[in-house]
Structures are given as structure tokens and as C-alpha cells.
Structure 1
Amino acid sequence: MVLKFYGHPFSTCSLRVATILKEYNVPFELIVVDVSKGAHKAPDYLKIQPFGQVPYIDDDGFILYESRAIGRYIAAKHRASGPALLPDVNTETQKYAKFEQAASVEAWNFDFYASKAAAELIFKPMRGLTPDEARAKELLESLENNLDVYDKILASQKYVAGDDITLADLFHISYGNLLHSAKHINLEDTKRPNVARWWKDITSRPSWQAVKGGVSSSA
């Protein structure tokens, strides 16, 4: 049975999951949840995703939501047929710990600021709302400061968890691309050469190139 992917073609979290599905060449059927019409808040949807968010997957009856959890699941299930994006906790305990460290950094030192800045500067105007410019400035300044730390980390290792790429790197792409493309941050800034090198590396992967224009079903 083909995996069913309930999401939106341009949702940042849907793009995150689609990138990982592409890494493992997992066929999936995209079932579009029309968030513009509130489909993610409909009673039937909330029975499955109680927080009313996208995406979630149905893998032959196994339901899972939260994009990072889905990414871990896909990487674990398809470990033998794709890149080693998730270290094995049993046989690579220290590498796994470094991965979890990097994943926490992404969630709390990157996404925490990037997603809120995007909400103010991109999503509010899309809905006809007025952004809080002062709040957005504060969020972007914090993000820029954290990217300075990233540059120091990436000076001595190729990726955020070490010298091997992991899911933690890919988790950054969708929100990073959103803010970078809108010129709210510059992830190719020569003042942060290690971040620029890393960003070019991870965004040039065929998986991201396949979905960056929008998610569609993959046979």
C-alpha cells in the first residue's frame, strides 16, 4: 500500500517530510489538506491530528503526525535502502547522541526563532494581518546571533551533528529557505563562510530540489 501523506504542497512542515521521503525514494500519495479553507480544523481531521496541523501520514494504517517524528520514522524504517540519516541508537550510541543534540539545536536555536519570524513577516501578511515588526526584528536578531554560533560549530565539522549528514541538517531547510528566499536572512553570507558552505551543500541535494517548488504525489 502506498503511503498516504496528508499535507499541503507549500507547508514548511510538509516540505520537511517530503524531502525525507525523497531521500529514501518512498512512494507516496499526497492528499491535499486545504488549510486556506480550514480543512485542518475540521472535526474529522482533528480526530486524527488533534492539534489541527499538517502533515500526518498513514502508512498502511499506521498514523503518525509531527514532521520530525515522521522523518525519524521514515529514516528508521528505510535505513537499509537509503542514506544513513539517523544513527542507530544501539550500535552508534555516541553518533546518535550527537544527532539528538543537533536536532535539539535545530528545534530550539533555529526553528524556534525562524518559524516565529516567518509567522510575523510572511504568514500574517498572506492572511491580511499586520506583522509585529518589532517582534520580528527581535526574532531575526536572535536567529542571526545563533547562526554566528553555527558558523563556529561548522568550522570544525561538515554538518551539524558531525562529519556525516543527518536528519538534523535536513530539518533546517524548509524554514531556512522560506526566510532566505524572502531576504529576511542571508544563509549565503560570506561573513559566515561555514554556514554558507553547509547551506549550499544541504539545499543542493536532489531530495530538496525535487520538492522545493511544492509537494506532489510520488509514484
Structure 2
Amino acid sequence: MHVNLLALYNLYLIVIFALSTAARYRVYIQVVSLVLALPQRWPKLSQLLLQHRWLLVNWRTLLPSVLTLMLTVVNSAVYYLLLPQATLTPRDLVGHVFLATTLGVLAALVVALDGYALSVPGDIRTPELDKQFDQAEFWLSSRWSKVVEWFTLRRVRPRQMVAEHLRNALEAVAQTINWAMWYWTSQLLARLLLALGLWWAWFWLRSG
């Protein structure tokens, strides 16, 4: 076979980027619509969210992004600057069982990680979420919350309950974001290892 594995993998990266963008397009739209709707539809809740924004933006969520950026820079440097254009075909790997097996395992890992990421649904804004936000906004802005506090001798404090519920919800969201960011990093790391493996195979076979 005369398929250039290096060119094929480069094409794969382009295709998987396009598929990932298309699969997440609805999520991006939902996030933007939610952010734009917060100040107008839920002003009190929006202020409360700002008080707890550190739960979503902290070193645990930023570190994977930094590592991802570093891996991207390294991958780009290796792919475009350090190594010249070359050809690596399956026929070149015949007789090199360990090398072919290693590249095959890495390729399977990359496809599995990318395939799982594409198959996971990503709905952010749902009617249930809007309903919960409406209820939270009602108790944060309504005078009935003070009435409830007065009748229950402050044993039931709706606004404080909303704040605690929101904090717990944001912590859960932050954990989800952390997991997603680390998964994204593992995807890029697997892609980088496969790219380096292909280039190393070309260099080793060329030197031999």
C-alpha cells in the first residue's frame, strides 16, 4: 500500500476538528444564549453567580487549558518546523512488529477518545434549567422570601437556600468542566504521541 500515513493522519486531524466543531455547535449556541439571557431575565441570579465565579474559573480549570496550549505548541513545532515532509506507508512497517503494533495501539486510542467525545451529548440549556433559574430569581427578588422568614422565625430562609443550592450546583458544574478539560488534554496528548510516533518511525526507518 502506498498510503502516506503522515498525510493521512494530518487529514484525520482536520476532519476530527471539523466534526468536533459541528457536534458542539449547538452547545456553543446554548452557552451564548444563556450568558446573554442572564442579566435581562435573571438579574438577581446573575449577581449571585458573579459572587461564585471563582468556582468555575480557578487553577483546576485553567491548568488543563495551559497544558493543552503547551502540547499544541509542541505538536505544531514538531509537525511544521522540526521535521521535513516525508512519506511513511504501511509497507514500510512490514517486518517491524513492535513499531507497527505501537502505532496501531496509539491510533486506536486516538480514535476511541475522539469517538467517545463525539458521542457524548452536550445539552447545556434545557427547559428544566430555565425553570430552576426562574424559581431562584423569584425567591431572590420577591418580598415573599422575607414573609416566609418572618413566619418561620428565620428557620427557613429562601434566599440563603437559593445561594447554597446555587453554590452546590456550580461546584458540580465545575467538576464537570474539570473532567472535560482533562479529557480534552488526554485527547491532545494521545494525538501528539501518535504524531511523534509516526515521525519517529519515519526517521528511524530512513536512518536504517
Task: Report the TM-score when normalising by structure 2.
Answer: 0.29
Task: Report the TM-score when normalising by structure 1.
Answer: 0.28
More strand by share: 1
More helix by share: 2
| Structure of higher CA gyration radius | 2
Q: Which has the higher contact order (CA 8 A, sep 6+)?
A: 2
